[in-house]
Structure 1
Amino acid sequence: MESVLRAASALLGTTVSAPADLGGSARSTVLRCATGDGGSVIVKAYKEEPEALRCFTAEAAGLALGAGSGPRLLAVDTAFPLLVMEDLGTAPTLADVLLGDSADAARAALLAWAGAYGRLAAETIGREDELAALRSRHDRGNQRWEADPWPAEAVAGLPEALGVIAPDGLEAETASILRLPDYPVYSPGDICPDNNLLFGDRVRLLDFEGANYHSVFIDAVYTRMPFSSCWCVFRLPREVQAEVESAYRAEVAKGHPELLDDDVWREGMRLGMVAWTLDATSALVRRVLTEDRMLHRTRRPVPTIRQLLRYRWESLLPEVPDMPATAELMRRLLAATEKWDVPSMPSYPAFGG
């Protein structure tokens, strides 16, 4: 802790003290600290291990590229490694509002969230070389930034632990998710509800550890599933979901006008849902073979992992009528887990769940 404070003080040229631990992760320590001029800053220090260093480089570069969308980047110490950021203060997150009791507030927050990411994506189209240069500035020399292998890993990791046999033709069908329509957009990476602070109708984004360019549909499908990789998952009213998806699409299409083509959008969203559903299946099934678990260790209300998995499989079925092997896999997974006997996914509390 003392070394973190000394490094931050040297960077800013003023005393940094009175650290309050904001939680961080296995990769980092995040502190709210007082400064010598009476203000406060956020100090984020990363561990000296490959994944943490990769996250440090991505976040330093991502905050710089997406300036204004997240906290202002005040200083970087690549050798430590450490970031000093603007303290945005306290504000409710999108997760807080969705788990609250106001449908109007939740709808407004969702639309603000979708608009914020759509605008950021549109405004940063074509700046891949700039992000690469920012990475180089803060790269310790041991990161690799090749194309994200995630969709391939999602397919390769499909579990057999439930005794479900893959239908004939599945491999050929799921290969299509490796060809997600390109339309690259910049994203902070983890766009889940708890990484978004709400200030009236403005959203400030947190967590740029996964900042990168990838297919627009990896992010866009968060508006439909909803929140593809997150713990804060319940059902959205159909009309609200449609509004949120339209809000994101309208903004991002300002940079990629081709996304206004319904055929392009429909195919990309469908493949995005397949990719994220297979990813959840690969990542989560083995964790709940013997007993169910909550999706978050401390937050409540929250669904269980078994609830989430069955919800994902049920939701994908109507989206893949012309992918018979994928649809059959979903049916087999649902049949194999009927014994789980979990409730259907309720609506978000804000919408009466």
Structure 2
Amino acid sequence: MDSILRAAGDLLDTELSDPIDLGGSRRSTVVRCRTASGGSVIVKAFSGEPEGLRSFASEAAGLSLRLAGPELIAVDAAVPLLVLEDLGDAPTLADLLLGDDPKAAATGLLAWARGLGRLAAGSVPKRADLARLRARYDKGVPSWEDEPWIERNFADLLALLDQTSVAVPKGLAGELAEIGAVGAEYLAFTPGDTCPDNNLLTQDGLRLIDFEAACFQSVFLTAAYCRMPFSTCWCVFRLPTGLSEEIERAFRAEVVNAYPELAGGAVWQAGVRRAIAVWTVDATVALLPRTLEDGPLHPTRRPVPTRRQLLEHRWGMASTLEEFPALAATMRTLLRDVARGWETPPLQGYPAFSELGSDDLVQELCPSEPSPERTV
């Protein structure tokens, strides 16, 4: 910690003190520090491991685009570390969803969806800029845009099914290859980890944090976060009927400003459903080997689903992807032959909406907006 403060202080030409640990991860250390003038900054230092170096280059480049996120004050590529604007202690979207105010939670979800959609639409001309910035901060580890993670996950799934003696339907490998090309012609910028705890609801509106996986990717991969919901996150519960459609509509209404052809329902639905398949495989590969003993998805936050609950929920949704019959059959087999033995309670709804007595109240909380077809 002392070395981090000294390096950041030298970068700013001021003394930093009173560090408060904000959590971080295996890849990074994040602290709030007091400056000599009485202000505060966020210092984020990255590990020297490959994932830490990847995260540094992605976050430094993503924030340097200045399309979203806290202000990037200074960069030390040697340590490596970033000094960021302190956005304060505003609640996150996760705080609202796990709270008891349904109106605040619904409003937060809409702000999140609109914000991501505007960011995506506004970023489309900036892909070359991001590539140039990432080259400036490159540490020799490919970005997630250049990493074949989808194809690797598909190969890992086939191996995992074999290891667990789950019958692989004929044609699954071919379907996975088709799914892997999801929305390659509809790319946009994303911070990467757009989960509820990485979205601050400040007095000035939504502010995104955590750009460690910043890259350009298919807009459908982001849209799937609205429907699943939150494809790669720990804060996953069921949304009231109709609410996921509302937030997806809000995201899509912004994205069609960059890609008008996505106003067509058939193209949009096909893309999102493929993205659901991609993220379901991702979750299966990451979590199924760790379900021999069940456990919570987050070490400290409560309530939180368990690994088994999340997988059962994901498999149930993917089992309806009948345009990919081999994949849907695989999901049903996992539900029948694996999940049934878990005897896991079904995934519950978000606490913020637990007092809703009727789905009709969703319209009161989140009035329907014009559809993208009428917007364009």
> Which category describes the TM-score, using the shorter chain as reference length?
over 0.9
% identical equivalent positions: 54
What is the SS of the residue equivalent to 1:194?
Answer: helix
Deviations 1:168-227 (A, max 9, x none): 111111111211122001000000000011114711111000000011111110000000
Q: 2: distance between equivalents of 1:123 and 1:232?
A: 27
Deviations 1:220-271 (A, max 9, x none): 1000000001010011112111100000001111111121111110110010
Aligned match for 2:348, one of 346, 349, 352: 346
What is the SS of the residue equivalent to 2:105?
Answer: helix
Letter of the structure 2 residue corresponding to residue 13 of structure 1:
D
- Listed as ranges, the gaps of 5+ residues in structure 2 are 356-376
1:144 deviation in Å? 2.7
2:173 alignment counterpart: 171
1:325 alignment counterpart: 326
Q: 1: distance between equivalents of 2:135 and 2:173?
A: 37
Contact (CA 8 Å) 1:196, 1:203: kept in 2 or not? yes
Q: 2: distance between equivalents of 1:181 and 1:66?
A: 25
**Paired residue total:** 349
**Matching of residue 276 in structure 1 with residue 275 in structure 2:** no
Summarize the Cα distance change of 1:352–1:200 in structure 2 as closer, same or farther, 3 Å threshold.
farther
Deviations 1:68-89 (A, max 9, x none): x211000001111110000111
1:39 deviation in Å? 0.2
What pairs with 1:281-300 in structure 2 (closer than 5 Å)?
281-289=284-292, 291-300=293-302
Q: 1: distance between equivalents of 2:171 and 2:66?
A: 41
Q: How does the TM-score come out when normalised to structure 2? A: 0.90
2:358 alignment counterpart: none
Structure 1 runs of 4+ off > 4 angstroms? none
What is the SS of the residue equivalent to 2:242?
Answer: helix
**Matching of residue 31 in structure 1 with residue 34 in structure 2:** no
1:101 alignment counterpart: 100
Q: 2: distance between equivalents of 1:144 and 1:327?
A: 32
2:110 alignment counterpart: 111
Deviations 1:99-133 (A, max 9, x none): 11111111100000001111011111021110111
What is the SS of the residue equivalent to 2:73?
Answer: strand
1:17 alignment counterpart: 17
What is the SS of the residue equivalent to 1:127?
Answer: helix
1:230 alignment counterpart: 233
Contact (CA 8 Å) 1:151, 1:177: kept in 2 or not? no
2:189 alignment counterpart: 186
Letter of the structure 2 residue corresponding to residue 286 of structure 1:
P
**Matching of residue 87 in structure 1 with residue 86 in structure 2:** yes
Q: How does the TM-score come out when normalised to structure 1? A: 0.96
Report the aligned-residue RMSD.
1.4
1:162 deviation in Å? 3.6
What is the SS of the residue equivalent to 1:126?
Answer: helix
Summarize the Cα distance change of 1:148–1:256 in structure 2 as closer, same or farther, 3 Å threshold.
farther
Contact (CA 8 Å) 1:101, 1:351: kept in 2 or not? yes
Aligned match for 1:252, one of 255, 261, 264: 255
Q: 2: distance between equivalents of 1:151 and 1:180?
A: 10
